[in-house]
């Protein structure tokens, strides 16, 4: 088989056979096919797409480019959640302990921040001692002991995606629905789960900015999962403004701890509870969503979900005292409170720009090898729909470099679009898509 011919066929809009796709993915994962040919193939797919059969084969080939976790010896329902990424996106930290406290298994493999979005692993690593890189034996031990585990992808899990994703990132081929969907689903299906809840975001801080593209991606994800025999649902959720109030690594863990202790009820609490409830429903713990929401509330009010978080943090080497004594997190050297320039209502927030300013401050990375600063970030005091008076607190900046804090001051204030007429905050969940919506 000639790689050149496969690329040419896809470029000309032909359908690739299963053998051709297997040959291509295995060849790329093993290093036999060079990056320049893989980049050309990614671009051909970007323009010509993959049909349903090709997409299934492509996803299967990605899954089998490495090890597939076999959790068959752990009896019971295994469920995970995947988010397409955003700013202040911390539901994993909240919902995983809730769902594990309810008795389902949560073998969660997460990623690091890239682009303007944050990553769960970076947030967890702000807890002193917390280990995210676990061997597969340790992964199982923590899962067995706590009912959940929060870890990074191992070397052997979907190696084809690790290479292809890095290549797409630098060849302008990320924003392709078949490539995104196969990338996400190959990693999730290699985890050995039974059910998956997808948080597919749309809006100014999301990958897919318009609802239509987010819906198309959600349908493709649900269709791949259900054709592979998994239970999958997707929620389309609003990412037009940062989720919750805290943006930055330790700051987001702190907000998660407050929510897990029932002290804060905001958009990110509501989204996390809803996603957790969908996971409980998939696992058959309740008959309907209302019952699942009640169960989530009980697990928060009783303290069971927060205790579960403390338990898993301890099991993964973290200092659990940090979760109640926030002074134990790495501390920023300086704090600056920025005020609103005008009276009015917050109409919009330049969400992606806030993510990028966070990176500028050190909270995220622009390339995979960059370090992240666990202490820096923002607390937003106003969100869309809130009234504001000139001089009111708008946002607090936690920084380690005073020059950088000065540099981002005005751009950060400019992220808040204030107008003189009232506006209503958007609903956090727009719709739910299940298998019946894609078949």
Footprint of ligand URA (CB under 6 A): 165, 174, 179-180, 183-184
Residue 273, Ramachandran bin (φ over 0: left; ψ between -120 and 50: alpha; else beta): alpha
- Pick the closer one to ligand URA by CB: 179 or 254: 179
- Pick the closer one to ligand URA by CB: 5 or 156: 156
Q: Tokens 């050149």 identify what position?
A: 4
- Pick the closer one to ligand URA by CB: 112 or 381: 112
**Least distance in angstroms from the C-beta of 180 to ligand URA:** 4
**Least distance in angstroms from the C-beta of 164 to ligand URA:** 8
**Least distance in angstroms from the C-beta of 78 to ligand URA:** 19
- Pick the closer one to ligand URA by CB: 236 or 277: 236
**Least distance in angstroms from the C-beta of 181 to ligand URA:** 8
CB crowding 260-269: b at 16 or more within 10 Å, else e = bbeebeebbb
Instruction: Determine how many CB atoms are found less than 10 A away from the CB of residue 174.
Output: 18
Residue nearest to ligand URA (CB): 183
**Least distance in angstroms from the C-beta of 299 to ligand URA:** 29
- Could you tell me which residues come within 8 angstroms of residue 305 by beta carbon, excluding any fewer than 6 positions away? 94, 97, 98, 101, 260, 299
* Residues 235, 434: Cα–Cα separation, whole Å: 9
* Residues 365, 358: Cα–Cα separation, whole Å: 9
Residue 319 tokens, joined: 């200092």
- Pick the closer one to ligand URA by CB: 78 or 168: 168
Residue numbers annotated as active site: 82, 161, 168, 183, 187
Q: Tokens 């302990």 identify what position?
A: 97
The closest alpha carbon to 365, from 119, 31, 9, belongs to: 119
**Least distance in angstroms from the C-beta of 169 to ligand URA:** 9
- Pick the closer one to ligand URA by CB: 27 or 119: 119
- Pick the closer one to ligand URA by CB: 180 or 236: 180
Do 336 and 402 form a contact (C-beta atoms < 8 A)?
no
Q: Is 228 exposed, middle or buried (0-12, 13-18, 19+ CB in 10 A)?
A: middle
**Least distance in angstroms from the C-beta of 179 to ligand URA:** 6
């Amino acid at each position: 088989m000639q790689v050149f011919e496969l690329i040419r066929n896809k470029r000309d809009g032909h359908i690739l056979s299963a053998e051709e796709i297997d040959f291509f993915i295995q060849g790329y994962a093993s290093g036999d096919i060079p990056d320049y040919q893989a980049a050309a193939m990614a671009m051909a797919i970007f323009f010509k797409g993959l049909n349903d059969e090709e997409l299934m084969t492509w996803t299967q080939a990605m899954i089998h480019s490495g090890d597939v976790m076999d959790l068959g010896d752990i009896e019971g329902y295994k469920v995970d959640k995947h988010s397409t990424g955003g700013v202040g996106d911390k539901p994993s930290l909240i919902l995983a302990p809730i769902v594990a406290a309810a008795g389902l298994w949560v073998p969660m493999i997460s990623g690091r921040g890239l682009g303007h979005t944050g990553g769960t692993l970076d947030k967890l690593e702000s807890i002193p001692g917390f280990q995210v890189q676990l061997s597969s034996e340790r992964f199982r031990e923590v899962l067995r002991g706590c009912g959940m585990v929060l870890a990074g992808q191992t070397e052997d899990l979907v190696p084809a995606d690790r290479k292809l994703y890095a290549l797409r990132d630098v060849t302008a081929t990320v924003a392709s629905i078949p490539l995104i969907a196969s990338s996400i689903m190959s990693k999730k299906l290699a985890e050995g789960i039974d059910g998956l809840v997808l948080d597919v975001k749309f809006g100014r801080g999301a990958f897919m900015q318009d609802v239509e593209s987010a819906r198309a991606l959600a349908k493709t994800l649900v269709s791949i999962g259900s054709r592979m025999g998994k239970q999958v649902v997707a929620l389309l959720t609003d990412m037009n403004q940062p989720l919750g109030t805290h943006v930055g690594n330790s700051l987001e863990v702190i907000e998660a701890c407050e929510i897990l202790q029932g002290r804060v009820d905001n958009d990110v609490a509501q989204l996390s509870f809803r996603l957790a409830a969908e996971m409980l429903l998939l696992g058959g713990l309740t008959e309907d969503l209302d019952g699942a929401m009640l169960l989530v509330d009980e697990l928060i009010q009783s303290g069971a979900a927060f205790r579960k978080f403390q338990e898993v943090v301890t099991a993964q080497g973290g200092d659990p005292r940090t979760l109640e004594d926030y002074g134990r997190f790495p501390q920023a050297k300086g704090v600056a409170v920025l005020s609103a320039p005008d009276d009015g209502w917050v109409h919009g927030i330049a969400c992606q720009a806030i993510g990028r300013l966070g990176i500028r401050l050190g909270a995220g990375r622009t390339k995979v090898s960059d370090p992240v600063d666990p202490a820096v970030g923002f607390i937003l005091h106003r969100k869309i729909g809130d009234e504001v008076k000139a001089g009111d607190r708008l946002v607090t900046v936690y920084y380690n470099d005073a020059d950088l804090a000065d540099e981002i001051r005005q751009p950060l204030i400019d992220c808040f679009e204030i107008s003189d007429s009232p506006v209503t905050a958007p609903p956090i969940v727009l719709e739910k898509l299940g298998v019946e919506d894609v078949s």
